[in-house]
Chains A and B, each alone.
Chain A
Amino acid sequence: MKSHMKKQSFITRITNPKYIMVYATIGIFFVIYGFGAFLYGDKGFTTIRTFVNLFIDNAYFGISAVGMTMVLITGGIDLSVGAVASLTGMFIAYGTSVLNLHPLVCIFAALVMGVGLGLLMGCVIHYLNVPPFITTLTGMFFARGVCSLISRESIDIKHPFIDSLASWKIYLMKYSEGSWVKIKPIAFINFNVILFIIMIIIGTYILQKTRFGRNIYAIGGNEQSASLMGLPVGRTKVLVYGFNGLCSVLAGISYALYVKSGWNLSLQGGELEVITCAVIGGTLLTGGVGYMIGTLFGVLLKSVIPALITFNGNLLSWWGKIATGLLLLLFICIQRFVVTSSSKRK
């Protein structure tokens, strides 16, 4: 395959029209960021700390969005992620506080639960032909219900292991006058941010460099053709939902570290926020199109709006929801435009 593919120059490769959506996301992110810098630059909007906080405050959405992007590329959808993440937090909280287990045991149990549920949903979707929307909706109800069965009240997580993991941080340093000092205002990255970045890298690697990733795109493009080509459609789909389960659990761990408690109603509606991130990152819900880098900027774009509202200080936080909705509308229109113009070119 490689032998007869013309070696493309770097320039032609990055100007490929299939990346238009990703560029649109990145562009609009910088426009909004620039807008914030213009309005609130004097209040500290442009500091590294504000920028890093975008990652810290939204790492759990980002981690989940990695798996969601893959599911959406196969042409599916997973509504269970918020509930599974919430259940993970509940496992950790209940396990450490009530059952006196080590958090790692709880995390292991959560991983088994999350990945198992993901694989099971994948099997139901592929082998029983039940629409992904309905299957994962049932999964969401199940996870949310189990969460409430465990406890209806919020449980604080108090365990030295979790505390040390949550408070572990790397301060961003700069070199000045012969020694390394912390930058002012102090900015740091924590475990969640690193996990988020690692997951994005893993996701990019899987999608772009592995056979599994190519199968995902092929299935999203046209499932029938993919199966006629002899690609392992069933296995790929089941594994994608399993991987998404893994991402949901990791997102749940990250959220538990962020809020240090488990609550049965936490992250309600989180699944749609995650899907929104992926869609404004350029992933098509019809499948076949999507990039991890787009999702990364989709998460940043979605998180810069609440940051702007916080800096404004006078607006109700609900304007954030409306702004996100408008952003979604804008992106859908751009996508629509790109799709029609590219089909005309053909």
Chain B
Amino acid sequence: MAKKNFVLSGLMQSKVTWAVIAELLILMVCFMIRPDFFSISYQPSTGMLYGSLIDIINRSAEITIISMGMTLVIALGGTDLSVGALVAVAGAIALKFLRWDVLTYTTPGDYTVCPYILVLTIPLIVCALMGLFNGFLVAKGGIQPIIATLILMVCGRGVAQILTDGKQFTTGYSPFRIIGQGSFLYLPMPIIITIVVVIAVALFTRKTAFGAFVESVGVNPSASRLSGIKADKIILIVFLITGLLSGIAGLIYSSRIMSNDSNNAGLNFEMDAILAVVIGGTNMSGGKFSLAGTVVGSLIIRTIVTFVYYFGIVAEATMAFKALIIAVVIILQSEPVRKYFAKRSRVREAVLISGGER
């Protein structure tokens, strides 16, 4: 009995538990409003599974991918504000390579001007380099991550606009369409990419010592330097990963709309990603991180949006509901509230144990 209670109180104190409970509650409410919420159907014409759950996971792909990197940045005790701008940059470069010059190739169609391999790799390389630039400012310049990444956040969209001369290109190139709209194993492609990214990051951080290094640098950079961890190198790698993942998210985003939209691509993605990480139970002051929690956090954000659509409320107003639900989750996770719960369950345990002894 007492042991069960310890497990329970441990779970109650874990932030991830709260995130999972919140997600389940929102899903329950969705199910009560729309009983067909969990139904999944197969569409033979596209070879894809359809349903609200699939849609939630599909639409949360970009944020989930970015927030994998963001989790590591936050575990280091920093934040990366530039990810949204990098999404725009990746889209702009990809579309620039697909169309090159709208004056020579006036109509969008099923063609690419530059080799497709460049369309896929150059945006990723540029985004990774931009991430490296952030990492360089933080690791070598000793600048606070939030300001260091503010630079690229401010001018990233400018770079994206200038790359495409402030124009919006569209394309019809079918291999490019596959990234955002194709399917594999009955699942939409973005879900597959997300799964691959999540597993890759999880393996990289948990099967090597890298994750432990990140946590130790996040808790105390100077102590970890003294114990022989190259903090600079860890920071550089983490920002590089985040840049690269933003690039992947940028390709998915622009493939969904088959166009570059430097004004709106990735708008507020940095905010959503940071929220996903925090809801998922990673502390903003750095240290321990939870990739699984982050995935749940990202799903919560997307589920709220879907949930609000079901009420027939205008799309832009979702933000207000998002704010309310997130406020509840964050307040429940906050230190004083968790301490209060922990104290209550400890009192109950004490009563139980003392009662047992008598």
Residues of A within 8 A of B (CB): 77, 79, 124, 127-131, 133-135, 137-142, 144-146, 148-149, 152, 264-265, 268, 272, 275-276, 279, 285-286, 316, 318-326, 328-329, 332-333, 336
Contacts and interface: CB of A to CB of B under 8 A. Distances in A.
Interface in B201-232: none
Contacts, number: 136
Contacts of B271: 79, 137, 140-141
Contacts of A328: 147, 150-151, 154
Contact of A319 (B143, B162, B278): B162
Given A124-B334, A128-B331, A128-B336, 17 more contacts: A127-B336, A131-B285, A135-B330, A141-B319, A144-B320, A145-B318, A152-B316, A272-B150, A272-B153, A285-B144, A316-B162, A318-B158, A318-B161, A325-B151, A328-B154, A332-B141, A332-B151
B314 A322 contact: no
Contacts of A329: 151
A295 to B, nearest CB: 16
Contacts of B153: 272
Contacts of B158: 318-322, 325
Interface stretch (B117-125, B189-197, B321-329): B321-329
B284 A134 contact: yes
Max count, chain A CB within 10 A of own CB: residue among B267, B327, B335, B336: B327
A70 to B, nearest CB: 18
B152 interface: yes
Interface residues of B, number: 50
Contact of B142 (A265, A275, A276, A336): A336
Contact of B146 (A137, A148, A152, A285): A285
B114 interface: no
Contacts of A323: 155
A71 to B, nearest CB: 14
Contacts of A322: 155, 158-159, 162
Nearest to A148: B316
Contacts of B155: 321-326
Nearest 10 CB-CB pairs, A to B? A145-B320, A325-B155, A321-B158, A148-B316, A145-B319, A142-B323, A141-B323, A318-B161, A128-B334, A322-B158
Contacts of B154: 272, 276, 321, 324-325, 328
A46 B267 CA distance: 37
Nearest to B277: A134
B141 A336 contact: yes
Max count, chain B CB within 10 A of own CB: residue among A148, A272, A326: A148
A279 B320 contact: no
Contacts of B327: 138, 142
B79 A133 contact: yes
A146 B316 CA distance: 9
A329 B314 CA distance: 39
Contacts of A133: 79, 146, 274, 284
A139 B326 CA distance: 10
B147 A285 contact: yes
B285 A279 contact: no
Secondary structure type dominating chain A contacts:
helix
Contact of A141 (B142, B313, B326): B326
B157 interface: yes
B63 to A, nearest CB: 14
B357 interface: no
B147 A279 contact: yes
A268 B335 CA distance: 32
A264 B316 contact: yes
Interface string B303-347: 000000000011011111111101100110011110000000000
Contacts of A138: 323, 326-327, 330
Contacts of B335: 128-129
10 contacts: A127-B336, A128-B334, A131-B284, A140-B323, A141-B323, A144-B320, A148-B319, A149-B317, A322-B155, A329-B151
Interface string B270-310: 01001100100000110000000000000000000000000
Nearest to A329: B151
A333 B142 CA distance: 10
Given A321-B154, A325-B151, A329-B151, A145 B321 contact: yes
B236 to A, nearest CB: 18
Contacts of A286: 144
A128 B326 contact: no
A130 B331 contact: yes
Contacts of B326: 138, 141
Interface in B148-184: 148, 150-159, 161-162, 165-166
Nearest to B283: A131
A132 to B, nearest CB: 10
A129 B151 contact: no
A329 B137 CA distance: 9
A124 B331 contact: yes
Max count, chain A CB within 10 A of own CB: residue among B157, B319, B334: B319
Contacts of B334: 124, 128-130
Given A129-B334, A145-B317, A326-B155, A139 B147 contact: no
Contacts of A141: 271, 319-320, 322-323, 326
B141 A333 contact: yes
A161 B151 CA distance: 41
A322 B152 CA distance: 9
B1 to A, nearest CB: 33
A148 B317 contact: yes
A145 B157 contact: no
Contacts of A276: 150, 154
Given A128-B335, A321-B158, A325-B154, A148 B278 contact: no
